[in-house]
């Protein structure tokens, strides 16, 4: 099977890049796999090229490259195909419209996979007839703007399948969008087993990791740890993660740590790469997010042998943690509940060790081989269905074009009503 991934920028750093590389590398052990990056801004991928995978790019943004495209006149004109609702729209242009279209018109692949909403729209509109078209959702339907959700509802009908990283988000897509003929399936991200041994569970450290952003609610974790350190002053907390460009969140956290007198108990460690070597230096992990699209750090901690105390925010944690077995789920926004769960694990060595072993065992279901097999089954099933008669592709295209205005208006009314209801208003 020839599988082609279309990625925003394979040369940067980010969760979607990392998970795409992991999946592509694993699939490449059995299939012909390529990654086509829309942009290239450096000579080599920051995360290292995945072994066995062919890499190429469409727009060269390396200023010293003889094929530099940054000064092209068409690159100064806003994109017409890449949807305005996608947060990356400003980086796209008439040049990317043309380059992506040319690639998708000629791509020699059995399966073409898009990795963000804007690229999924390109797949639906521009892929030549023949390859199976699969869109991936790495965030959630709810996380997108109203404008982007309208575009998704309008354009995704021409995909063959859409994958989400949680069952809850798959349910949202099925219940809130009408995507006839589109298979919606939840397949979580893959997380490789760490190269280092798992945690022993006896080191008196709690570990948290992720970008320093308000959605992660590290302020709640710091406040909870004030209670932990008062009861168990021998335990400490490490928070790993880089801040944003302004450093506002990092500064706010440092001020809170000083205000609570925790400078000997809570440490901002900065970004760590790879993070897998840091998890075993602790015995308990904490994730206190207000919102998660999946919960990669939860799985990474469990793969390192740590039980995880996590807020039961929408979509991710409850599909990963079995409360009371391999970790604890606590209410969102409740520092007292976070502190109580941490103290439960800190105060009971046998429980902590038992949950750590259970977390390590449970995390094996996210092994890249298992996740790649699920994608492989999906792709094979779609190809088999197509071989029996994929003639409905032209029909779906015709319906999409002739009924587009009607569908767009219906979706607009439905989403306006849904948004108002979620905000407590009336439609």
Task: Provide the pLDDT for residue 108.
Answer: 95
**Residue-range definition of the domain harbouring residue 262:** 205-366
CA angle (111, 113, 118) in 5-degree steps: 145
Whether residues 259 and 221 fall in one domain? yes
Residue 200 lies in a domain: no
Pick the last residue of a domain from 320, 350, 366. 366
Whether residues 214 and 70 fall in one domain? no
- Asked if 280 and 305 count as a contact pair (C-beta separation under 8 A), the reply is yes
Task: Provide the pLDDT for residue 247.
Answer: 62
Whether residues 227 and 138 fall in one domain? no
Whether residues 36 and 181 fall in one domain? yes
- Asked if 139 and 293 count as a contact pair (C-beta separation under 8 A), the reply is yes
Residue 117 lies in a domain: yes
d(C-alpha 135, C-alpha 165), whole Å = 12
Whether residues 162 and 132 fall in one domain? yes
Residue 31 lies in a domain: yes
Q: In this structure, what are the phi and psi dihedrals at residue 157, rounded to the nearest 5 degrees?
A: -65, -20
Pick the last residue of a domain from 366, 396, 411. 366
- Asked if 328 and 344 count as a contact pair (C-beta separation under 8 A), the reply is yes
In tens digits, what is the pLDDT along the chain, a chain of 427 residues?
Answer: 999 999 999 999 889 999 999 999 999 999 999 999 999 999 999 999 999 999 999 999 999 999 999 999 999 999 999 999 999 999 999 999 999 999 999 999 999 999 999 999 999 999 999 999 999 999 999 999 999 999 999 999 999 999 999 999 999 999 999 899 999 999 999 999 999 999 999 999 999 999 899 999 999 999 999 999 999 999 999 999 987 655 689 999 999 999 999 999 999 999 898 899 999 999 999 999 999 889 999 999 999 999 999 999 988 899 999 999 999 999 999 999 999 999 999 999 999 999 999 999 999 999 999 999 999 999 999 999 874 344 344 434 333 433 333 333 443 444 344 444 434 443 3
Residue 138 lies in a domain: yes
d(C-alpha 50, C-alpha 22), whole Å = 7
Q: In this structure, what are the phi and psi dihedrals at residue 215, rounded to the nearest 5 degrees?
A: -65, -25
Task: Provide the pLDDT for residue 427.
Answer: 35
Pick the last residue of a domain from 366, 386, 402. 366
Coil, helix or strand for 126? helix
Coil, helix or strand for 106? helix
Identify the CATH number of the domain in which residue 7 sits. 3.40.50.2000
Output the pTM of the full model: 0.86
Whether residues 276 and 247 fall in one domain? yes
Q: What are residue 419's DSSP bridge partners?
A: none
Task: Provide the pLDDT for residue 426.
Answer: 36
The sign one gets for the Cα dihedral 127, 180, 20, 89 is: positive
Residue 195 lies in a domain: no
Total number of domains constituting the chain:
2
Whether residues 163 and 220 fall in one domain? no
Whether residues 49 and 101 fall in one domain? yes
Residue 197 lies in a domain: no
Whether residues 16 and 149 fall in one domain? yes
Pair of tokens at residue 319: 């599909």
């Amino acid at each position: 099977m020839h599988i082609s991934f279309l990625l925003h920028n394979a040369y940067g750093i980010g969760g979607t890049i990392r998970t795409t590389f992991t999946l592509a590398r694993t699939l490449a052990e059995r299939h012909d796999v390529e990654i086509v990056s829309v942009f290239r801004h450096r000579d080599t991928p920051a995360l290292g090229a995945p072994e066995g995978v062919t890499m190429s790019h469409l727009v060269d943004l390396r200023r010293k490259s003889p094929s530099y495209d940054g000064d092209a006149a068409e690159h100064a004109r806003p994109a017409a195909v890449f949807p305005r609702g996608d947060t990356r729209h400003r980086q796209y242009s008439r040049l990317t419209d043309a380059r992506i279209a040319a690639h998708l018109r000629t791509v020699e692949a059995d399966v073409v996979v898009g990795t963000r909403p804007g690229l999924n729209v390109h797949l639906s509109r521009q892929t030549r007839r023949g390859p199976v078209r699969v869109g991936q959702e790495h965030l959630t339907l709810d996380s997108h703007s109203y404008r982007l959700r309208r575009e998704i509802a309008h354009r995704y009908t021409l995909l063959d399948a859409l994958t989400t990283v949680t069952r809850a988000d798959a349910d949202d897509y099925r219940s809130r969008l009408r995507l006839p003929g589109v298979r919606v399936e939840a397949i979580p991200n893959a997380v490789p087993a760490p190269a280092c041994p798992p945690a022993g569970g006896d080191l008196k450290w709690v570990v948290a990791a992720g970008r320093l952003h308000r959605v992660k609610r590290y302020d709640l974790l710091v406040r909870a740890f004030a209670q932990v350190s008062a009861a168990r002053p021998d335990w400490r907390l490490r928070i790993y993660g880089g801040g944003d460009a302004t450093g506002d969140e990092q500064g706010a956290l440092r001020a809170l740590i000083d205000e609570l007198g925790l400078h000997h108990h809570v440490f901002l460690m900065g970004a760590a790469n790879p993070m897998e070597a840091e998890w075993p230096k602790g015995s308990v992990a904490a994730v206190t997010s207000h919102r998660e699209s999946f919960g990669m750090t939860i799985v990474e901690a469990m793969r390192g042998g740590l039980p995880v105390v996590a807020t039961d925010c929408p979509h991710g944690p409850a599909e990963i943690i079995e409360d009371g077995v391999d970790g604890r789920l606590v209410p969102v926004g409740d520092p007292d509940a976070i502190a109580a769960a941490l103290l439960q694990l800190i105060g009971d060595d046998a429980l902590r060790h038992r949950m750590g072993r259970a977390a390590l065992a449970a995390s094996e279901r996210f092994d890249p081989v298992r996740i790649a097999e699920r994608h492989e089954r999906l792709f094979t099933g779609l190809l088999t269905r197509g071989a029996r008669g994929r003639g409905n592709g032209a029909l779906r295209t015709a319906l999409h074009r002739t009924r587009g205005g009607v569908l767009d208006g219906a979706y607009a009314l439905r989403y306006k009503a849904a948004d108002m209801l979620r905000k407590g208003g009336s439609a």
